[in-house]
Structure 1
Amino acid sequence: MSEPLLPPASRPQHEPRPPHEPLSLLPLRAVRDHPLAPADRSTWPATLPPVRQLLEEGLELGQITVLTGDNGAGKSTLVEAIAGAYGLNPEGGGTGAMHSTRTTESPLVDHLQLVRGAGAAKSGFFLRAETMHSLFTYYEEIGVGGMMHERSHGESFLELVAERSRIRGLWLLDEPESALSISGCLALLGLLRELVANGSQIILSTHSPVLAALPGADLLEVGPWGLRSVAYDDLDLVRTWRSFLDAPQRFLRHLG
């Protein structure tokens, strides 16, 4: 008997959900602990509450999943491991990207079982903030995308997404806002909506309330509780930013 899967998140009643593809056509339907190579629950990263919850309950995925939470909560660990299990380079890029600088990924990738959609696209793309420089260098070396380092980080990032938008499959993005201004985040939202409209699936981790507002997303808040479904207005990320912008001095007076 299979373990229960964590259901997709709830969303505000005023937020219409875009027409998702049938489950059979989603590149990735669910993630769970691999029955033939289960993770040791006593060692990192299985000791992280969200990782442990995924391993024990499984995680069901819709067409758009957004992970939010504090630094160190486990967002990037989950996204990185899912990308690796899907066959994507842990340092970013598509399924054919071969670049590697330094191996830092967790062993979680070896303990995940992916439930794929029958007949779904098998292609994908992984973008992560911390390895973007090496990815740009790799593409320049193989003659793809022009001279990315001659443009600003944000410009290169958005151009890369736009140029690779022909890839229909699973898109994973880990904290892409580090390269972007607010207007850049809004531009990225537009590109992501186009990807979804063309049938791609999105998994995004972010600290940005702008990116967390991606229409139709299943919102999962990551923390000491594990993974929990939260409506946009109730996200700690959103509530904290609103509180700060309303009265910055309430926060700044506590600084040394």
Structure 2
Amino acid sequence: MALHRYPVRRLEEDPAHALDRGSWPAALPAVAHLLDRGLDLGPATILVGENGSGKSTLVEAVALAYGLSAEGGSTGARHSTRSTESVLADHLRLVRNAGATRRGYFLRAETMHSFYTYLEENPRTGLPDISFHEMSHGESFLELAADRFRGRGLWVLDEPESALSFSGCLSLLSVLKGLLADGRSQVILSTHSPLLAALPGAEILELGPWGLRRRAWEDLELVGNWRSFLASPQRYLRHL
């Protein structure tokens, strides 16, 4: 059997803290699927699906269960403005690979502005930090990813495309691809972007009424919808 070196090999419900299936977020099909069956993870996992399908709920719960801050940052971050996270992390068990790193970082685009302020107010010891507030949203997001996503670790991202242009998404893909190169890092990413969903070597999970299903990039509803729109925008726009 191959020895895996990336941090987390499986997600499953903690049997000592079972979550009521009639309550939120267990009522979401994707969350129920995870709790009922567990989920084996590889080095890179991409979550795609419509708004409300549970993508952010799942990545947030993984980040919290790993020890990362719900609003972004590393295991040492204590940034919190308003607690809105679900209880899922309290019912989730992460099965770690033996000897793997416990480092990691969580980036979510919706909390980045306040997170930059937190970083300014809590500077790194002996190191000058980047002036994130002086950059555009996309530039600062990429600078933070390139600066913090280094070496081994679990790198969790929630819909980062909301901060990025087309070329910015390509730049982020380059950062993530480099992290995965030595087999000791792991990426979990939720996205609406067909570009980010194309991360080389990633397993793609499509969320919906069916729960979770593994899909090839070219078979995703996300990819098919974008292809159809770009081929004939007026077919869609005339129905608005």
Common fold: TM-score over 0.5: yes
Could you tell me how far apart the structure 2 residues matched to 1:165 and 1:83 are?
15
Letter in 2 for 1:98: R
8 Å CA contact 1:69, 1:75 repeated in 2: yes
8 Å CA contact 1:209, 1:238 repeated in 2: yes
Matching of residue 163 in structure 1 with residue 143 in structure 2: no
Tell me what 1:102 maps to.
82
Tell me what 1:222 maps to.
207
Tell me what 2:176 maps to.
192
Matching of residue 231 in structure 1 with residue 216 in structure 2: yes
Could you tell me how far apart the structure 1 residues matched to 2:172 and 2:239 are?
34
2:29 pairs with one of 49, 57, 67: 49
Tell me what 2:111 maps to.
131
Deviations 1:15-48 (A, max 9, x none): xxxxxxx554220000001011011111000000
Matches within 5 A, 1:65-84: 65-84=45-64
8 Å CA contact 1:136, 1:148 repeated in 2: yes
Letter in 2 for 1:193: K
Tell me what 2:43 maps to.
63
Matching of residue 205 in structure 1 with residue 205 in structure 2: no
Letter in 1 for 2:66: Y
8 Å CA contact 1:88, 1:126 repeated in 2: yes
Count of aligned pairs: 234
TM-score of the superposed pair, with normalisation by structure 2: 0.95
Deviations 1:172-208 (A, max 9, x none): 0000000000000000000000111142100010000
Could you tell me how far apart the structure 2 residues matched to 1:252 and 1:23 are?
51
1:149 pairs with one of 133, 144, 151: 133
Could you tell me how far apart the structure 1 residues matched to 2:164 and 2:200 are?
19
1:85 pairs with one of 57, 62, 65: 65
8 Å CA contact 1:124, 1:167 repeated in 2: no
Could you tell me how far apart the structure 2 residues matched to 1:229 and 1:23 are?
23
TM-score of the superposed pair, with normalisation by structure 1: 0.89
1:111 pairs with one of 67, 91, 95: 91
1:36 counterpart SS class: helix
8 Å CA contact 1:37, 1:110 repeated in 2: yes
User: Aligned pair in 2 of structure 1 residues 23, 249: CA closer, same or farther (>3 Å)?
Assistant: farther
Tell me what 1:120 maps to.
100
Letter in 1 for 2:211: G
